[in-house]
Structure 1
Amino acid sequence: MKKLLAARSYTTPTEVALLLVRVVGGLAMVLHGWPKIQDPMGWMGPDAFAPGFMLALAAVAEFGGGIAWIVGLLTPIATFGIACTMGVAVYMHAIMNGDPFVARGASYELAAVYLAVSLLILAMGPGRLSFDRAVFGER
């Protein structure tokens, strides 16, 4: 488990870029998840396509995962949760609802961007400038 959570080391510019992506993306996820965490099992309303416990998992993934990104703690686990949640969001908007990529109304642009950021962080890890490195060391 320690090896999974240990941070990789990169050049200083890459480390700073990873930190910036984590903090900005994490803040966006926290703000995106905040309304959901207020009513974790019912934020989609009575016509939700998923049961309440899955809505709660999505709310925790977005809100808690955003906090984890900001501080860089348990980053791979948090990122996996965010990636799964955003993958479902892209699928629901693009495939099930037929929404366009970009539109003034319903679209899947934002979910796709969050999914891409989560895949980047999942592939690269949190970097040296994270609590994961302080707690679990470097690979």
Structure 2
Amino acid sequence: MDITVVELLVPAAPSTFAQAALFLLRVFMGICFIRHGWPKLRNLQTWAQMLKTPAWLCFLSAGSMWAGGIALIVGLLTPLASFAILVSMAYAMVLEIRSGFPFIAADPYLIPEGDYAGPMGVGEPPSWEKAAMYVVMCLVLICCGGGLLSLDTLLLEDLLRIWLGV
């Protein structure tokens, strides 16, 4: 089975219902990652120092979140935007695992009062669950595409077929 460039960049979803669900996932993730990436871009040095990571690497990560979020909302190059975000989230998982965080933290309501106070005060204990969920969501968009109302489907697929002569 040969996969074409068009099929890699604009995968087809199996049904209209599935495409609507992919649209919802794509827009939701896009909004989340614009909100995750922009503050990191604006406070790049602080974020880099906190992570003990080179600023250029933090810039690539935050930039992929912000620009990838914009691309996801409009559905432009959805698999590539998702892959860029996936790399950042996989790196976040590595950092959180290396810090000894559990996959799923104890429910904050089950922790005795006064036993947990994080860097921002009392709240949700750290875990790598959220980063892992974003990795899985990115994998779904990489494999299935952006769904309905994406520039990939509405514009890019036809342009790629013309350009590649498929």
Aligned-residue offset at 1:99:
0.4
Q: 1:82 to 1:69 in 2, by over 3 A?
A: same
Tell me which of 17, 21, 43 is aligned to 1:39: 43
Tell me which of 20, 23, 26 is aligned to 1:19: 23
- Within a 5 Å distance, the mapping from 1:91-110 to structure 2 comes to 91-94=94-97, 96-103=98-105, 104-110=124-130
Indicate conservation of the 8 Å contact 1:2/1:136, yes or no. no
Aligned-residue offset at 1:34:
2.2
State percent identity of aligned pairs: 36
Which residue of structure 2 aligns with residue 10 of structure 1?
14
Q: What one-letter code is carried by the residue in structure 2 that aligns with 1:98?
A: G
Corresponding residue SS for 2:51: coil
Q: What one-letter code is carried by the residue in structure 1 that aligns with 2:62?
A: A
Tell me which of 53, 58, 61 is aligned to 1:58: 61
TM-score (norm 1): 0.87
Corresponding residue SS for 1:100: coil
Q: CA RMSD of the aligned region, Å?
A: 2.1
Rounded to whole Å, the distance in 1 between the matches of 2:27 and 2:80 is 16
Which residue of structure 2 aligns with residue 119 of structure 1?
139
5+ unaligned residues in a row in structure 1: which ranges? Answer: none
Aligned-residue offset at 1:46:
2.6
5+ unaligned residues in a row in structure 2: which ranges? Answer: 106-123, 162-166
What does the per-residue CA deviation read over 1:44-88, in whole Å, with 9 as the maximum and x for residues that have no partner? 243533211110011011111111111101212211110100001
TM-score (norm 2): 0.74
Rounded to whole Å, the distance in 2 between the matches of 1:123 and 1:2 is 13
Q: What one-letter code is carried by the residue in structure 1 that aligns with 2:79?
A: P
Indicate conservation of the 8 Å contact 1:7/1:128, yes or no. no
Q: How many residues align?
A: 137
